[in-house]
């Protein structure tokens, strides 16, 4: 059992790294590592009524009902990853964004391949996948809003961001970026601003309690159709993580260097794409061995 906890903690680390980058989803990592449906189901079973079990002293039953060991291990991994990786991610976005985006592009493309070949496709699935792709591309092309940073917007941002995190292909941090809240949240983590962090966390709790129940109901009723729709979201996310973007243009490495005057870092970018693909293959093989 302790070894399982370490595995869940490791998968939480992977999810946290993904969610630290605007445009990459921790939900995608959960899907790749084979814990997505268990995660959604566990979150959907969280309910204020369960607090009655604590009041009655039925601690063990409460822990089993909420799948406590799984959620705690995964949650700790996500938190450790976010607090330890966020500064590194910020530095890479400033200094070598092409390498960071290349890693996640390789990861997403490899994810699409491994998840796509395992899916049982039908005509409706193809249509739903296309719709998901269009929606994800549309979200990626939205311009940043200038929301005022206050208690209410931080709670709202946390609720929407955590809901997005549960959807493969949509990044919670990207939603915060669109809302204009991402810099404030990054600064709060860096400065250990517990008030701001607490407000975002409150929003996350609200979002988890509401959206996870809705998503779990969809998966229970239309499992394969929902997954096909989510694969479309993942495909659409490739627009956001294309490494050579300049002034909202998607360029080739050569064009990027000509227009921006910055190096394309093509050899390093290709190496990072390969590393991302290898990471997906490793995670997929590990998940298959567990199942």
Average pLDDT over residues 193-217: 87
Alpha-carbon distance 155 to 64, whole Å?
29
Q: How far is CA 51 from the centre of its chain?
A: 29
* Contact in structure between 32 and 287 (CB atoms under 8 Å): yes
Q: What is the pLDDT of residue 35?
A: 86
* Predicted pLDDT at 129: 92
The conformation of residue 167, written as its DSSP 8-state character, comes to S
pLDDT of residue 2: 65
CA atoms within 13 A on the CB side of 21: 30
- pLDDT tens digit sequence for 234-280: 888 788 788 998 877 888 999 999 888 888 899 999 999 999 888 87
Q: Among the listed ranges 107-121, 136-150, 214-228, which one has the minimum average pLDDT value? A: 136-150
Neighbours of 150 (CB within 10 A): 11
Closest CA to 161 of 173, 178, 153: 173
Residue partners of 151: CB distance under 8 A and separation at least 6 = 199
Q: Is the model's pLDDT at 1 over the cut of 60? A: no
The answer, yes or no, to whether residue 290 has pLDDT greater than 60, is no
Share of the chain above pLDDT 90, in %: 9
Spatial separation of the C-alpha atoms in residues 113 and 111, rounded to whole Å: 5
Q: Where are the alpha helices (DSSP H) in the chain?
A: 2-19, 26-32, 36-44, 51-55, 59-65, 68-95, 97-118, 123-140, 151-165, 172-178, 182-191, 194-221, 223-240, 253-260, 266-290
Residue 206, pLDDT above cutoff 80: yes
Q: Would you give the DSSP letter of residue 49?
A: G
Rounded Cα distance between 81 and 85, Å, is 6
Band of pLDDT at residue 287, cut at 50, 70 and 90: low
Is residue 126 pLDDT above 60, yes or no?
yes
Q: What confidence category does residue 125 fall into, taking pLDDT thresholds of 50, 70 and 90?
A: very high
- The whole-number average pLDDT for the span 32-48 is 83
So what's the pLDDT on residue 286? 65
pLDDT interval class at 194 (50, 70, 90): confident
Whether 144 has a pLDDT exceeding 70, the answer reads no
Residue 127 has pLDDT above 90, yes or no: yes
d(CA 255, CA 261): 10
Mean pLDDT of 128-147: 80
Kindly report, residue by residue over 45-74, the tens digit of the pLDDT.
Answer: 877 777 777 777 788 888 888 888 898 999
pLDDT of residue 59: 81
Mean pLDDT (whole number) for 9-24: 77
Residue-level pLDDT at 213: 87
Rounded CA separation 61/45 (Å):
13
**Six-digit token string for 74:** 């995964």
Spatial distance between the Cα atoms of 243 and 265, rounded to a whole number of angstroms: 10
For 183-214, the three-class secondary structure string (H helix, E strand, C coil) is HHHHHHHHHCCHHHHHHHHHHHHHHHHHHHHH
Name the residue ranges covered by the structural domains of the chain. Answer: 2-290
Burial 1-35 (b: 16+ CB within 10 A, else e): eeeebebbbbbbbbbbbbbbbbbbbbbbbbbbbbb
Q: What is the pLDDT of residue 178?
A: 76
**Cβ count within 10 A of residue 198:** 15
**Is the pLDDT higher at 262 or at 148?**
262
Read off the pLDDT of each residue in 179-197 and give the average, rounded to a whole number.
81
């Amino acid at each position: 059992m302790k070894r399982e906890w370490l595995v869940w903690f490791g998968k939480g680390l992977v999810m946290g790294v993904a969610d630290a980058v605007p445009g990459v989803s921790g939900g995608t990592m959960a899907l790749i590592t084979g814990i997505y449906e268990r995660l959604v189901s566990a979150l959907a079973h969280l309910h204020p009524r369960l607090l009655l079990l604590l009041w009655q002293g039925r601690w063990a039953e409460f822990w089993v009902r909420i799948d406590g060991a799984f959620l705690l291990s995964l949650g700790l991994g996500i938190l450790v990853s976010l607090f330890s990786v966020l500064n590194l991610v910020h530095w890479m976005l400033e200094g070598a964004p092409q390498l960071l985006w290349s890693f996640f592009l390789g990861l997403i493309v490899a994810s699409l391949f491994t998840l796509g070949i395992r899916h049982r496709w039908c005509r409706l699935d193809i249509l739903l996948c296309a719709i998901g792709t269009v929606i994800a591309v549309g979200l990626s092309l939205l311009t940043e809003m200038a929301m005022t940073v206050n208690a209410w917007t931080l709670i709202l941002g946390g609720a929407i961001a955590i809901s997005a995190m549960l959807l493969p292909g949509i990044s919670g941090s990207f939603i915060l970026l669109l809302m204009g809240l991402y810099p404030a949240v990054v600064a709060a983590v860096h400065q250990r601003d517990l008030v701001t962090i607490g407000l975002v966390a409150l929003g996350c709790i609200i979002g988890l309690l509401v959206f996870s129940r809705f998503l779990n109901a969809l998966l229970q009723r239309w499992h394969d159709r929902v997954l096909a729709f989510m694969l479309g979201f993942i495909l659409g996310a490739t627009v956001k993580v294309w490494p050579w973007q300049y002034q909202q243009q998607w360029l080739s490495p050569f064009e990027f260097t000509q227009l921006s005057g910055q190096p394309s870092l093509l050899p390093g970018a290709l190496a990072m794409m390969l590393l991302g693909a290898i990471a997906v293959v490793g995670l997929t093989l590990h998940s298959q061995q567990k199942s």
